[in-house]
Amino acid sequence: MQKRYCTCGREVWVQFMVKRQGVRFWTLTTTWGRNIRRCPECGGLLSLDGLK
């Protein structure tokens, strides 16, 4: 799992899944993690190549 940043600066966690061969993006809420596809700050579509 890696901490990356959206182009707007919002922290986004990336989890690499080997068995499913994919990438999962999520952000921490007050108590639990939540899967996301868009940045909760700017609304931009998340992609691994677009994160810092």
CA 18 to CA 52: how far, in whole Å?
Answer: 22
Q: Which residues of the chain have pLDDT under 70?
A: 17-34
Residue 8: the pLDDT is: 93
Residue 9: the pLDDT is: 92
Residue 7: the pLDDT is: 92
Contact by Cβ (8 Å): 12, 4: yes
Contact by Cβ (8 Å): 40, 46: no
pLDDT by residue (tens digit) across 34-46?
678 888 889 998 8
The domain limits of the chain are 2-50
CA 18 to CA 35: how far, in whole Å?
Answer: 17
